[in-house]
Structure 1
Amino acid sequence: MTPAFQFRQEAFLLTSVSSYILTLALNPKDFQISIIDPVNNLCLWLDEFALPETTSEQEYLAQIQEIVSKHPIAEKTFWKSIRLIVNNQSFTLVPTALFKKEYAARTLSLARGQVTSQETVQHTLHPTWEATNLFAFPTLFSDWILDIYPLEKIQVFHQSDLLLELSSKLKSTGLMIYVEKQAATLVYVNETKLHYCNRFVYRAASDLVYYVLFVMNELKIDAEEIPAWVFGVVTEEDDSYKGLYNHIKNLSLGLPDAVSIPRLPGDSPIFYHVATLLS
């Protein structure tokens, strides 16, 4: 399968994989493979594969397995670490003081419905926000990743974990809007407190604008005053950006100055791709 988008950095050295982080990002409609140099804060390699629609997790995993098996570097071993990023609606945040690992599945079930026997519940601590993120991960994928990387250090994150980590670098009140293809995540920080984090699916740009404005109204966020940043798969020419810009006075395209991510050259919207968000 040929990547729909690809990038190669000349600094990439196959003999130095032990210094690099391999990231595999699992999204409903696409799959990304990236290599990050954490020392120099660079993205050295990025492939994005568009996936045909599937009707089961088995079919989806079969596509991922085929891509990885034929990829020139994905099955290499002895990386500094391997990060697996899952992107779905099955996540919820709880105060860390109330989090009990033995009740993780029950807690997530209250937020999104019953956790099945085909899922495991992962969790990520976010000390800055005194919160723990719980999310569902298909057992099929757990078994597969352990099978192809049996000796590697593997970290599993939900996409929202990356955005929560980015938002922790904000020094003041602000609204971050991460835009994907037909999905978006909002993170609202009020002074030094996390007030909101949620992901939603949309079909049209007008739906995205409506949802953002609805959330802002419910949270009593002043659209005339709030500093806001929209980033991800979005440009100044997109209807979604234009619609948001018409309503949010202090909206910027890109990330706040205080937030640093692995760099890609150029001004492509892929610059803020999820695979590069966590250095």
Structure 2
Amino acid sequence: MYQEFLQYELKDPQMDVNLLSQYQLVINIADTGIVFFINDAASNKCLAIEKYKFSSPATTENLTMNLQNIWASHPYLNAGYWKKVVLLFSNLKFSYVPKEYIKGDINPEIFSRLNFKLDKGESLAHMRLDELSTYCYYAVNNELMQWFGEFYPSMITKTAHTTAAFLYGLLTYDKKASHIHVNVSDALITIANIKEGRLMYVNSFPFTSPDDVLYLCTLVADELKLDTKDIKLNVWGDITTDSDYFTKLKPYFLQVAPGKRPEFLKFSFNFDELEDQFHFDLFNAAKLYL
């Protein structure tokens, strides 16, 4: 049944299902579908990538059922002996708070109420990004967390928000104030700006077309008071360089470049069909909990 939702799968022939206890499994979960990748923790080699798209957008109530349909018949996802499992939640329910505002007597939910409301069946999680001196608060699906806990009982499943993995990857990138970093997924675009190690801006927006992406990039540039003629726009995501997304951006942003893969991760020729800007957040999540 898992193949019903499968969009593509890439695999290194050296991957050995008998060695899953040495591998990390990182899963990006959105209401439109999931993407996962597997890497060898010792060699930092990418071993597999698979992308699935749900037949219709999932809700809080049926998200777990969608994943169960994939896991039930998958040849190795249902193995319970991974070295580590990391879940990335891709949604609009997140907020970033500078660490100086975090105090023991403050209810953490205060930091999220202005940005989002938790649905029934969701809880508030958080993680710390020390390099940016900030905390990320985000919503997680309770039923999904319980199911993963029961499915992989021998380990603690780690969680993060996709924006945190994206920002973590940017820390090794050029952090000039005149750079805007963009990550485009199936239904959300994340835009970030980092200046001298400080997070100046990060937000995600829903979109449906290349025109939306152009409008949102221009909007953020205006908000940051940056001239589009001087900005370098680094673009990652599931979009190819010959797509309308890049075509729309180039007349307005004179310096548009596809983002690069993380340098720490090794890829065999089996992944050459994926352009370098694909799955930047997913790949960098492998380093979040080392």
Paired letter, 2:274: S
- For residues 58 and 186 of structure 2, what CA distance do their matches in structure 1 show? 19
**Unpaired runs of at least 5, structure 1:** none
- Alignment RMSD, CA only? 2.1
Q: Deviation of residue 182 (structure 1)?
A: 3.0
Q: Per-residue displacement from partner, 1:234-260 (whole Å, max 9, x unpaired)? A: 11221111111222222211228x855
State the TM-score, normalized to the length of structure 1: 0.91
Paired letter, 1:266: D
State the TM-score, normalized to the length of structure 2: 0.88
Give the 5 Å matches for 1:1-279: 1-2=2-3, 3-54=6-57, 56-100=59-103, 103-113=107-117, 115-173=118-176, 174-255=179-260, 260-261=264-265, 263=267, 265-269=271-275, 272-273=278-279, 274-279=281-286
Q: Per-residue displacement from partner, 1:188-230 (whole Å, max 9, x unpaired)? A: 1123321111111111111110110111011012222233211
Please state whether the residue corresponding to 2:75 is helix, strand or coil.
coil
- For residues 256 and 15 of structure 2, what CA distance do their matches in structure 1 show? 35
Q: Deviation of residue 34 (structure 1)?
A: 2.1
- For residues 54 and 170 of structure 2, what CA distance do their matches in structure 1 show? 30
Please state whether the residue corresponding to 2:42 is helix, strand or coil.
coil
**Comparing 15-24 and 212-221, the one that deviates more:** 15-24
- For residues 91 and 55 of structure 1, what CA distance do their matches in structure 2 show? 18
Q: Deviation of residue 50 (structure 1)?
A: 1.3
Number of residue pairs the alignment of both structures matches: 277
Paired letter, 2:129: H
Q: Per-residue displacement from partner, 1:129-157 (whole Å, max 9, x unpaired)? A: 10000001111111111111111131101
Please state whether the residue corresponding to 1:28 is helix, strand or coil.
coil
Please state whether the residue corresponding to 2:227 is helix, strand or coil.
coil
**Moved >3 Å (runs of 4+):** 258-264
- For residues 57 and 119 of structure 2, what CA distance do their matches in structure 1 show? 20
- For residues 30 and 119 of structure 2, what CA distance do their matches in structure 1 show? 20
Please state whether the residue corresponding to 1:272 is helix, strand or coil.
coil
Paired letter, 2:189: A
**Comparing 9-18 and 193-202, the one that deviates more:** 9-18
Paired letter, 2:237: G
**Unpaired runs of at least 5, structure 2:** none
| Contact 2:259-2:276 at 8 Å conserved across structures | no
Specify whether residues 267 and 71 from structure 1 end up closer, same or farther in structure 2 by C-alpha distance, changes over 3 A only. closer
| Contact 1:91-1:108 at 8 Å conserved across structures | yes
| Contact 2:259-2:277 at 8 Å conserved across structures | no
Specify whether residues 47 and 171 from structure 1 end up closer, same or farther in structure 2 by C-alpha distance, changes over 3 A only. closer
Name the % identity: 18
